[in-house]
Structure 1
């Protein structure tokens, strides 16, 4: 259990607008001998996620900002390569939040052992079996309270959370799926692979106009929002009476340097008796302690039966993590964006 060196990606300056590689550094960190209760983990995949952009700012958010000079923490999966902890022997697959690094040494309590599923990669614990999948599930079941027969509109439907939302909604009995995406290829994917009834390219024309035209005077019961801005405005235009809006993210404004304009049709909240709720997945899971295990059991069953498909965009190499993050923020991913470390 000799000392070793790891590579870590740190935040060196707070981005103004879109992040650039100059806002980060890759540094070598030396680690000493393992202490009792510690393990060393070699990462296989690390996650890049939209919420990380908010943590790069100094202002108030629902989670503490990254400090300058700190490693970018977040989801990662790997394997224990050396252990001084009885409950995590060598070879154990683990999920953790140590983030953008090729290897990590820390107390065993900061790692969670995860079962390896036949034929499925560990990266799924960063996607459908991880935070994006759980976010989709709690947003649909505990926030929007999706019911069989509902019509659902998902903004950013080809992303990590969006692809999970559409598939889970279908398993829960949604009657009609409408989704938006940012390219013709993604629109085709939503319709041909994921069974969306309507898929719209928001770059073709204003999404509000496209949505009204596509629905032909029919409304939607549930809106699951990953984008915000013009997509929220579009949804308010087509919601049925007593519709529910679950606000998960607003990626359209994460790199904004000026305050974005608000929807001009908020009056529909009153006239149609709508319910809108923003949510943080960790808080909902804390309020509903049963939901995490419920989600894992159902999602594992759906994956094993082939009822749900994992969509991933895999970038090779720790040194390309920042590129992957920047590309993900401008919609360059389909499904979950992960970085394969090795």
Structure 2
């Protein structure tokens, strides 16, 4: 069996740490030898891996700046992946043919510990749906912001991986009106026509300010905010929040997508007087603080997908050689929803 295993694989490495946003010139697809799994390890042929803005925060970061290890020059990029086990070392409870998720994406084959892999099971109808970021939206809505029937909900960064699910999920959980923000007029149209957003604010630097647009979109104010952006959009949302509004902060795209910031901050001007007098709450969401949410989300997500109540907007980019460009396209806002690199099944 070992003789039939691949002896080489390809992976995406960081060549140099960029001054601003990472681009294809800072990355390289390189080939390296591949060894058989050792005790407790498994060899996984990756089928899909996630392209996500958090890589901006990790690239060149100082230790402790993020909950994941930093990525330095000559390191392989990493992130959520879905694959199939092709070999298992001694003592592994997993077997060849098992489909799993793990965190060693950005390579054709991975050698994780079996303990670091999660079997897929059949809770979701499509394996790639396991790369959805919807758990953050669901956790924010149900654990932090306590969504209530009839709420007017604002989702910043609504065309991203979290936002394309946050709005529709808020509706399924009882929201009365759902408003989004995006940088693109074309994406605004898709949010309204495909995902049922009632109104969309275009924060492209050319349209009226987000605060003015939000006042028009929500003349009676906003009850709940799922914020994936921070920065100016968070400031604007505070201006139109109703008394007692709840803010769930789940992302910092204003920093991660900016060529002028380091990716580990998204400064926003907070009117503390308004926070106090309006009784507003702002809380940051971390999945580690809410055990059991991932399993609950997966079950509900699977049911909603099968019934047609919910879709999973995503883009599949085929081939590891296109992965560096896919990351640049993510930063440029070229895609709608989740961005996934798909690898051939017999790599």
SS of aligned partner of 1:95: strand
How big is each residue's C-alpha offset from its partner over 1:270-298, in whole Å with a ceiling of 9 and x where there is no partner?
A: 221100112222x223xxx2322222221
SS of aligned partner of 2:78: coil
Show the counterpart of 1:230: 232
Aligned counterpart in structure 2 of residue 4 of structure 1, from 1, 4, 7: 7
Show the counterpart of 1:82: 87
Show the counterpart of 2:282: 276
Show the counterpart of 1:95: 101
Q: Is the 8 A contact 1:71 1:99 kept in 2?
A: no
**How do 1:300-319 residues align onto structure 2 when only pairs under 5 Å count?**
300-319=302-321
**How do 1:107-126 residues align onto structure 2 when only pairs under 5 Å count?**
107-116=113-122, 120-126=125-131
How big is each residue's C-alpha offset from its partner over 1:226-256, in whole Å with a ceiling of 9 and x where there is no partner?
A: 1111111110111000111111112122234
Which stretch has the larger CA shift, 155-164 or 197-206?
197-206
Show the counterpart of 2:193: 192
Q: Is the 8 A contact 2:45 2:109 kept in 1?
A: yes
The number of residues matched between the two structures is 332
Aligned counterpart in structure 2 of residue 320 of structure 1, from 319, 322, 326: 322
Q: Is the 8 A contact 1:93 1:114 kept in 2?
A: yes
What's the TM-score, normalizing by structure 2?
0.90
Show the counterpart of 2:176: 175
Q: Note if 1:220 corresponds to 2:222.
A: yes
Q: CA deviation at 1:105?
A: 2.6
SS of aligned partner of 1:165: helix
Cα RMSD, aligned residues only: 2.0
Q: Is the 8 A contact 2:234 2:268 kept in 1?
A: no
SS of aligned partner of 1:174: coil
Structure 2 portions without partners, runs of 5+: none
Q: CA deviation at 1:89?
A: 2.0
Structure 1 portions without partners, runs of 5+: none
Q: CA deviation at 1:224?
A: 0.8
Q: CA deviation at 1:67?
A: 3.1
Which stretch has the larger CA shift, 164-173 or 36-45?
36-45
What's the TM-score, normalizing by structure 1?
0.91
* Residue 261 to residue 29, structure 1, CA distance change in 2 (3 Å): closer
**How do 1:55-74 residues align onto structure 2 when only pairs under 5 Å count?**
55-59=58-62, 60-74=65-79
